[in-house]
Structure 1
Amino acid sequence: MVLHFFKNTFFIVAITIVSCISPSTQKSPSHASAEAKTTPLPTKKGKLILGANQTEAYLPLLKGKKVGVIGNQTSVIFRENGSYTHLIDSLISLDVNVTKAFSPEHGFRGKADAGEKVVDGVDPKTGIPIVSLYGSNKKPTQQQLDGIDILIFDIQDVGVRFYTYISTLHYVMEAAAEKNLTVLILDRPNPNGHYIDGPILEKKHQSFVGMHPIPIVHGMTIGEYAQMINGENWLANNLICDLMVIKMKKYTKQTSYSLPIKPSPNLPNDQAINLYPSLCFFEGSPVNAGRGTPHQFQVFGSPGLDSKYFDYQYTPQPNEGAKHPKNEGELCYGKDLTQEPLLSKIELKWLLEAYQHSSKKESFFTSFFSKLAGTQQLQQQIEKGWTAQEIRDSWQEGLKSYDAMRQNYVLYP
């Protein structure tokens, strides 16, 4: 009953898949895409066709193979009426032999809190074993990949360095390269893909919330980012992953795309996704960024902020995605940003205001702040009283160099 109309449409019109073979070839990637009769997804500016919806392009690649899927609640195939089925359910209905699933942070169904341990399990609907790639096991082991012929990576990202799905992507590609497996990426839009911004991560601050020398907002889709991982030799031991990308159709960097499914519990809507690169800095401070409220990453506040300056008040309480939010049960003073217009940059003014009007400046920044920023310079600049513009000016040389590198891997105008 799931997408049966695809079963008799195994003709392929000019299937061309972007392949990452070596760093030298990666510098000039093919911009051709897989063409097929597919289901368009309405957006604010026309009909977008996601990689996952182009089943005629990738089903022949899976025929007769044992398939592993790296996915979560966003790994779906949409119908024209807006309904959808999970990728694994669809593949099984199309006689694809899916043998194992791998889940990133927040779990296979996307219910776990940020940072919460995600354990191995079994998908109750299909009986397929699920291997967690968050916690102590961030990289698939060679044993976990035994019996798999090809891996599909299909996760909706939000285009931000400290959003850990791209770190999971890195480890999946590395493990696959060690096992001589192909990684097939079903590309999806980047809702923050219309700009790049932020400081470039320094190597000494590498962590799971920032593995590569890129800015906070990187301006790439998962497919493009995977190509950059290969092309810049970021995998261990100069490994190169055998990579294939099913491109989207009718997508550009300026395509306005509203995510139909929450990519994680604390990014509930377009506003939160757009504000996330600016407000996530508060995760490295005593300030609550809306966790424990209905407006995650759309408000911020703390008991330690000046109530005379900040007139918005709220009290964080346990909810989905935040069983024990920061400042739980405490009255917080801050700002409501739910009506802020669309950002095309990282907005620093809220971070500067919170620091300047904090009762405890000496303990405002935690060690996690520099991991998020990817540098100690941002904290130092704020403590020295730099303006937002002065801080932004200090990013420009790094952003210019990064953008020149990024252009080698872009697949969409």
Structure 2
Amino acid sequence: MQGFVPFYPIFCPFSACLILFSYDIIPVRGEIVMRATRKGNPVKLGIETLKREVRSKKVALLMNHTALDQQGQNLIDVMPAWECEVVFLIGLEHGIRGNLYQNIRSGPDQRTGLYVHSIYNFSNPRYHLDASLFRDVDGIVATFQDAGVRHYTYIAMLFYQMNVLTPLGKTVWVLDRPNPIGGHMVEGGGMKKELFSSLGVFDYPLRHGMTIGELATMYNQTVLQGKCDLRVIPMEGWERTMWYEDTGLIWIPASPNIPTPMTFLAFATTGLLQNSGFSCGVGTTYPFFVFGSPATRGNEIASQLNALDLPGFIAIERYFQPSFDQESDQVYHGTMLHIYDREAFRPYRTQLEILSLLGREYPSGFHMENRHFNRRNGSMDVYDMIIRQEPPHIIIEKWAENAKRFEETRQPYLLY
């Protein structure tokens, strides 16, 4: 059957949006997933090339539920039947099946019986496995759906494993996948070295416009001096101007709070409100499209944002009540973003204006864990702007210059 997916989750019938996208809705093993409908040939993943690469090899898999092939089958379930030996699995945030929330423990995968070594748990703050675990493998195969946004942990987990595997001479195969919010736009500030963490392992912008294979190539050359035996298996047919629904690939929610591809664009806009004291809609059916607190006046915030005449969206008043993550017994008088022109919309410019507005109007509402907030942002600049109640134009100009420099810096590492 065919359905329309707005910029909000498909399971939110009372949501309305100004732009709709067409998807085929299909069941895959009891779960509803979506294949974007597109004229012409869809993007083709390098599955057959990967098969040849790992033939007769012993490998570990750095994957999760988003590691789908063209038919919607998870490679975690498919690869054990290939002519290779899968020795163990490496678990990302939310687990290999995408059904867990935090502090992911190690243990056997119920379906395959393979042992899952979780690298996202409170007992492993280094986010990588011990080198001894890789002694009997030829390397790892990595593939997952990234966000196109730096402060999303999946890509950092790959870099941490590359650090361990490089001195061992092991191979890292990366099956490349699309950047869901396009490869043609770069926005936001870089990453200060003293703030490197699972939310950013090296210096690149918040919205980088690169695929996981391109980022891995850049990390290998600039951080590891090209010493990692990295083999990126590219896609066929992907173009930098594509959004996810242009690819023809099957979509499955990338994490519990990313139900649709366009939620990534909202995540890029309000994601920094995590660790701030304000809700960004986590625990609702439209995460990251709404923000606020019980004390905010959503109608006034919407009016002030609209008066700035920022491109690509309008803000409206929206009451909401999170079912988890925040105080679920509180009603939040919030603001919702209606993104009607994603090409014109600039999430990080919009984000700075939102943070500046909240800092001026509701300074007591910020209960920031400044260490985590700054790690998400990549520098102390935004935190200082909020505390000092300064206008955002200086940071906006600085970020624009940083993005322009990065567009030149990234050129040698682009594959498409």
Q: Does 1:335 align with 2:335?
A: yes
- Counterpart in the other structure of 1:228: 218
In the TM superposition, residue 75 of structure 1 has moved relative to its aligned partner by 0.7
- Counterpart in the other structure of 2:62: 70
Determine the C-alpha separation between the residues in 2 that align with 1:403 and 1:359: 35
- Counterpart in the other structure of 1:212: 202
8 A Cα contact 2:50 2:175, kept in partner: no
CA deviation profile, 1:30-79 (whole Å, cap 9, x unmatched): xxxxxxxxxxx86546433343xx33312222221112111000011122
Classify 1:48/1:307 alpha carbon distance in 2 versus 1 (closer, same or farther; 3 Å).
closer
8 A Cα contact 1:304 1:360, kept in partner: no
In the TM superposition, residue 363 of structure 1 has moved relative to its aligned partner by 4.4
Give the counterpart of 1:391 among 387, 395, 398: 395
8 A Cα contact 1:365 1:379, kept in partner: no
- Counterpart in the other structure of 2:290: 299
CA deviation profile, 1:153-192 (whole Å, cap 9, x unmatched): 0111011111011110111111111221111110000012
Q: Does 1:121 align with 2:107?
A: yes
Give the counterpart of 1:369 among 349, 352, 373: 373
- Counterpart in the other structure of 2:320: 314
Determine the C-alpha separation between the residues in 2 that align with 1:344 and 1:208: 24
CA deviation profile, 1:72-102 (whole Å, cap 9, x unmatched): 00011122xxxx1110222223343212111
Give the counterpart of 1:149 among 135, 138, 145: 138
CA deviation profile, 1:299-355 (whole Å, cap 9, x unmatched): 11112323562542111113xxxxxx1233211121122555423442233223332
Classify 1:131/1:363 alpha carbon distance in 2 versus 1 (closer, same or farther; 3 Å).
closer
CA deviation profile, 1:123-179 (whole Å, cap 9, x unmatched): 222111111111233112112213211310011101111101111011111111122
Q: Does 1:101 align with 2:95?
A: no
Give the counterpart of 1:251 among 229, 238, 241: 238
In the TM superposition, residue 375 of structure 1 has moved relative to its aligned partner by 0.9
In the TM superposition, residue 386 of structure 1 has moved relative to its aligned partner by 4.1
- Counterpart in the other structure of 1:269: 260
- Counterpart in the other structure of 2:383: 379
Q: Which amino acid is 2:43 matched to?
A: I
8 A Cα contact 2:359 2:389, kept in partner: no
- Counterpart in the other structure of 2:277: 286
CA deviation profile, 1:105-124 (whole Å, cap 9, x unmatched): 111111222xx111111122
Determine the C-alpha separation between the residues in 1 that align with 2:384 and 2:240: 33
Determine the C-alpha separation between the residues in 1 that align with 2:298 and 2:211: 41
Q: Which amino acid is 2:155 matched to?
A: I
Determine the C-alpha separation between the residues in 2 that align with 1:147 and 1:160: 34
8 A Cα contact 1:295 1:338, kept in partner: no
- Counterpart in the other structure of 1:34: none
Determine the C-alpha separation between the residues in 2 that align with 1:294 and 1:160: 21
Deviates more, 1:222-231 or 1:330-339: 330-339
TM-score of the superposed pair, with normalisation by structure 1: 0.80
- Counterpart in the other structure of 1:176: 165
Classify 1:377/1:177 alpha carbon distance in 2 versus 1 (closer, same or farther; 3 Å).
same
Q: Which amino acid is 2:116 matched to?
A: I
Unaligned runs of 5+ in 1: 1-40, 319-324
8 A Cα contact 2:162 2:172, kept in partner: yes
8 A Cα contact 2:299 2:335, kept in partner: no
8 A Cα contact 1:157 1:190, kept in partner: yes
SS in 2 for 1:48: coil
SS in 2 for 1:399: helix
Q: Which amino acid is 2:51 matched to?
A: L
In the TM superposition, residue 376 of structure 1 has moved relative to its aligned partner by 0.9
8 A Cα contact 1:298 1:337, kept in partner: yes
8 A Cα contact 1:173 1:183, kept in partner: yes
- Counterpart in the other structure of 2:153: 164
In the TM superposition, residue 361 of structure 1 has moved relative to its aligned partner by 5.6
SS in 1 for 2:117: strand
Q: Percent identity?
A: 29
- Counterpart in the other structure of 1:92: 80
8 A Cα contact 1:120 1:131, kept in partner: yes
Deviates more, 1:307-316 or 1:146-155: 307-316
Classify 1:393/1:47 alpha carbon distance in 2 versus 1 (closer, same or farther; 3 Å).
same
- Counterpart in the other structure of 1:55: 47
- Counterpart in the other structure of 1:12: none
- Counterpart in the other structure of 1:8: none
RMSD in angstroms over aligned alpha carbons?
A: 2.2
8 A Cα contact 1:50 1:188, kept in partner: no
Determine the C-alpha separation between the residues in 2 that align with 1:209 and 1:45: 36
Determine the C-alpha separation between the residues in 2 that align with 1:404 and 1:240: 23
Determine the C-alpha separation between the residues in 1 that align with 2:169 and 2:68: 27
- Counterpart in the other structure of 2:326: 326
TM-score of the superposed pair, with normalisation by structure 2: 0.80
SS in 2 for 1:302: coil
- Counterpart in the other structure of 1:187: 176
Unaligned runs of 5+ in 2: 1-34, 302-316
- Counterpart in the other structure of 1:133: 119
8 A Cα contact 1:69 1:153, kept in partner: yes
- Paired residue total: 355
